Copies of this chain bind each other. A is one copy, B any other.
Amino acid sequence: MPSQPVVVVLHDGRLPSTEEMAPVAEQAELRYVDEAGLADALPGADVLFAYHFLSRAVPDAWHATDGLQWLHVAAAGVDRFLSPEVVADPVVVTNSRGVFDAAIGEYVLGQVLAFAKDLPGAVRQQQQHEWQHRESERVAGTDALVVGTGPIGRAIAGALRAVGVSVRGAGRRARTDDPDFGTVCGPDDLPAELGAADWVVAAAPLTEATRGMFDAEAFAAMRPSARLINVGRGELVRTDELVAALRDGRLAGAALDVVDPEPLPTAHPLWDLPQVIITAHRSGDVVGWREELVRVFADNFVRWQGKQPLHNVVDKTLGYVPGS
């Protein structure tokens, strides 16, 4: 009988549900570890399941791997895992593409409507027991630019278009025949497209090409009436430059599910800007999401055991799963 493969499960104290892990447990030796135990658990491991998807510990412990074949990340963004050593390693990296798409689409639409109807202002007026009429905005007929044309960006586009928002995409390569976006602008046209949008949605992976792309120059290209919605990664945005743009009225608002730094420090000025809505990196995390993340890994594990091609293989040089 051949020896079982060794699967290291990196967790943050919360373990993946036994039920969803059953297909893996039946076929593998499981080593559950937190960040502190990671390096000791990696020697001899075949698979690393980063259920603790916010961890930055994997690159630091990478020296302890010896023949790890596959790293699966329980997140859509894998930026915290792709150190130069991991990129250079023959290890295959997969992500959890698909789990968050529709939920994030709903979240972005919710933030768009919250801005248009000033629901945060309503909450604050309510706290003051203040009955004060105000006019609001229509959403239909406005223009959105979704930066990032992966499945999350596509779900966002679908949610916005469903209520009459005109949506364009921004990606690495300009094209006019995209099945979801129609027009996708490339980097050259980005400033002009930023200037034509009422809503700019950051849904790109964090790569060296996208890091800090929302900076003072980008905000200067945007309409003063525009709002930025970031569901990608905090580091897509130059936070200090966003704060300055909001304070100076060069941008009308920002809904931030991800920030840099994250978690946002207690004394950070973003907390108190009235035109900012902050949520704690949860836009895709709907009831049942943790179980779904484990299912995605377990399904891929069964494929791996059967020597079938894995789903959601990351192009480690690009930094995301290509081909959408």
Which A residues lie at the B interface, using CB under 8 A?
Answer: 102-103, 106-107, 109-111, 113-114, 116-117, 119-120, 122-127, 129, 131-140, 159, 162-163, 262-264, 266-268, 271, 276-283, 285-287, 289
Give the docked Cα–Cα distance between A119 and B125 (Å).
Answer: 15
Tell me whether A106 and B139 are in contact (CB under 8 A). yes
In angstroms, Cα B125 to Cα A276, docked, is 13
Given contacts A110-B110, A116-B110, A123-B123, contact A134 B282 (CB under 8 A): yes
Structural contact, A123 and B120, CB atoms closer than 8 A: yes
- Residues in B whose Cβ lies below 8 Å from that of A119: 110-111, 114, 119-120, 277, 279
CA distance A53 to B125 in the complex (A): 24
Q: Is the CB of B280 within 8 A of A137?
A: no
Docked CA distance A282–B137 (Å): 11
Cα-based distance from A134 to B138 in the complex (angstroms): 29
Given A106-B116, A110-B117; A278-B126 close (CB under 8 Å): yes
Give the contacting residue for A287; candidates B107, B137, B267; CB below 8 A.
B137
Residue on B nearest A287 in the bound complex, by CB:
B135
